[in-house]
Structure 1
Amino acid sequence: MPASTDTREITNKSMLSRGWSFTTPSSITGMRGSCIIIPCSFTYSTSQPADLRIIWYLYRSNEYPAVYDQRQAVITKFDGITSLIESVGERNCSLKINKLNMSRNQDRLYPWVDVNPITSYHTLGSQIYEKTTQLIVSDRAQQPQLSIISIPRVGEQSRVSCSVQHTCVSAPPTLTLNGTNGDDVTVDTLVSDGIWQRTVERTWIIKETDRSVECTVSYSGGQSARSELRLNVESPPEKNVMTSVPAEVDAGSTFSVSCAVMHTYPLHPPVFSCSVQNLTSEVVHTQMTQGLWETTSTITFMVPVGDGVKTLNCSATFWRNKEQVRTVKLNVKG
């Protein structure tokens, strides 16, 4: 279940005529073992008292158990795990709760922003219930969202992004990417009050062997979830390129020509063959980028005797029996 806040906010325009009002979400969801922040702001219709006091209470129909109070003890289940995240002077009454556990699921909390505690006034009964924020504690991690920026092609740079929303910016979940090796950048972004998004982006050079990317999210409470993205890697075109030849060559002369092809199989490079009897032959393998190689075959041969046009073919055969042929015409003189 994703971390979330109910977008329906509760604003008490005049808290039982005490001259102040507050705004909080009607519900908020967090993970067991993690922390959560209930966003809260308040206003005063008159000048704000200098000795203003903020107390948070657990809703009960006939009592007022405090869950946060800087001056007095709070109930056991919230002892030592609650705090305010901003100062009263900034009119912020947001409450942080650490170490969420399932015993706090469905609890309803509400703030009291006054010089005196709520117990100093008359019994409030059911009027408070409609102004509470319900805590929803989940024990199931949501799947992280995986996406890739561009079509993955061998030898090209690509970037994959994995993100998840959460409620604990001080101890965010861990995102781990597997399936590729590259450089990671992690960013935390505030999505809305009480909700953050953690994103990890990995940049790498696509290889032929890349099949998928897996992202795992792990929370401090031990929950985890994963998502997998199939890459469907595209290979570059295996195009055989022959060096240019002069407009005319002399019969009986020695001539050299090179054929080159880009490929993604360093353990199975293409095999070249030529339509003329060569004197020498040299094959060179060069890594162009990560996952992309170039194999070049250079032959030296004697130009056949006789005027006219001679055909020179260069063939590259790949390990999958795919063949690429390039042909040039030699204008032979003599």
Structure 2
Amino acid sequence: MIIFCLLLAAFSSPVFTGEWKANVVKELEVLVTSCAVIPCTYTHPKDHTPTSRQRRIWHRGSNKEERIYAEDQTLVLENFKGRTQMFENQNENNCTLEMTGIQGHDNGPFCFRIELVQKGSDTPSTDKFSFVENCVTFKILNDQKPKLTQQQTAIQGKPYVITCSVTHTCPSKMPKLTWNRVTTDDAITVVHKDNRFGYWETESILTFIPGEKDDHSEISCTAEFNGGKTSQTTLMLYVKRTETYNHIIIPTVAVIGTAAIFAVICTVMVKRYRKRIDELQSRDGSLWNRMSRFSHRIRSHASGPSRADPRPANQKVTKGRFPSPKSPPKSCNYRQDADDGDDHMNALDNNVYGNM
């Protein structure tokens, strides 16, 4: 079924049906002061005689006398003289027209017409074909800004690509794209594309290695069109620094280093303190021993009587006999020791005597 439809469409084309028909783009967005190329093709009957010469004409609207292009420039409207010409090499079925210096009132519509002229004669024959049903109109633009396309993220030290592109209607005089970056390390590639239906595209591909200084910088692309009109587009470039662990390593090393220094200081201080303690203990060892012996002697004297003279619990205590203070001593065996330091014993004797 698909093959049958294709064959049916082919056989029903104007070439095989013997019709004259032009194929012209319907509308073009054209930048003022620039140029426009109107794609146009036409077909003729299969039995068209090659003895006749085809005269191609473009006129404005349905008025066939308002010619914007003709081989005879005297027949062209004054406003279009020198601004229109047939584009590239014209084969038998090509009617493409180029118009330069687009003005604000060049809206159209513009239509194609063909006249057949017998060879050897300048008078056209009665075969004239105007394709007023297939005309083109212009939408005049006052500005045509380039478009900037960039990768998602610019990483420091890695190649990065930004593309500047602009759509235009003037393939014979391509717009020129320039960047605001001036460096020998940048690589720029220019590409021209035919987007068909009267539109072409110029691309400038910028490849560079962003650095830290490129962060938060402006990248601008300027398009200069035929006729001198310029337009610029700017974007802000954000550069992501190379992924490192410095933000983790540096604080960790600082904390560990501080802790190590603090531990060393504490260790040194403890060693010095212990050494000082040992020196003091070795220096004051005899004094400490004497104080220990002295305290031990005091404790032994305090508990001496109970240990020296233990008595059974059931033993009766007999009261001793003491001579009267008025009677003389019976014996002269008592002798007082002078300066023997035994004040403690004398004090005990006096207490006993007083109690009696």
Same fold at TM > 0.5:
yes
Q: Which residue of 2 aligns with 1:195?
A: 199
Task: Summarize the Cα distance change of 1:122–1:188 in structure 2 as closer, same or farther, 3 Å threshold.
Answer: closer
* Matches of 1:22 and 1:61, distance apart in 2: 15
Shift of 1:180: 6.8
Contact 1:144 1:226 in 2 (8 A): yes
Q: Which residue of 2 aligns with 1:108?
A: 109
Which of 145, 148, 164 is the equivalent residue of 1:146? 148
Q: Which residue of 2 aligns with 1:98?
A: 100
- Equivalenced residue count is 232
Secondary structure of 2:133's aligned partner: helix
Secondary structure of 1:221's aligned partner: coil
Contact 1:32 1:100 in 2 (8 A): yes
Which of 226, 232, 241 is the equivalent residue of 1:226? 232
Contact 1:180 1:204 in 2 (8 A): no
Shift of 1:70: 1.8
Q: Which residue of 2 aligns with 1:185?
A: 189
Q: Which residue of 2 aligns with 1:209?
A: 213
CA RMSD of aligned residues (A): 3.6
Structure 2 counterpart of 1:93, which letter? C
Contact 1:173 1:217 in 2 (8 A): yes
* Matches of 1:89 and 1:49, distance apart in 2: 16
Larger Rg: 2
Contact 1:39 1:193 in 2 (8 A): yes
Shift of 1:112: 1.4
CA displacement, residues 50-100 of structure 1 (integer Å, 9 cap, x when unaligned): 333242332355552222222452221111221112444341111111221
Contact 2:115 2:128 in 1 (8 A): no
* 1:101-180 map, 5 Å: 101-104=103-106, 106-116=107-117, 129-138=132-141, 140-179=142-181
Secondary structure of 1:136's aligned partner: strand
Contact 1:55 1:66 in 2 (8 A): no
Which of 61, 74, 77 is the equivalent residue of 1:75? 77
Task: Summarize the Cα distance change of 1:89–1:172 in structure 2 as closer, same or farther, 3 Å threshold.
Answer: closer
Which residues of structure 1 form unaligned runs of 5+?
A: 1-12, 241-258, 262-271, 277-334
Shift of 1:144: 1.4
* Matches of 2:223 and 2:163, distance apart in 1: 13
Q: Which residue of 2 aligns with 1:31?
A: 31
* Matches of 2:127 and 2:191, distance apart in 1: 48
Secondary structure of 1:89's aligned partner: coil
Answer 1 or 2: which has greater helix percent: 2
Matched, 1:64 2:65: yes
Secondary structure of 1:22's aligned partner: strand
CA displacement, residues 87-132 of structure 1 (integer Å, 9 cap, x when unaligned): 443411111112212232x2221111231499965999xx964332
Contact 1:85 1:94 in 2 (8 A): yes
Task: Summarize the Cα distance change of 1:118–1:169 in structure 2 as closer, same or farther, 3 Å threshold.
Answer: farther
Secondary structure of 1:209's aligned partner: helix
Answer 1 or 2: which has greater strand percent: 1
Structure 1 counterpart of 2:33, which letter? G
Task: Summarize the Cα distance change of 1:83–1:20 in structure 2 as closer, same or farther, 3 Å threshold.
Answer: same
TM (norm. structure 1) is: 0.59
Which residues of structure 2 form unaligned runs of 5+?
A: 1-12, 259-356
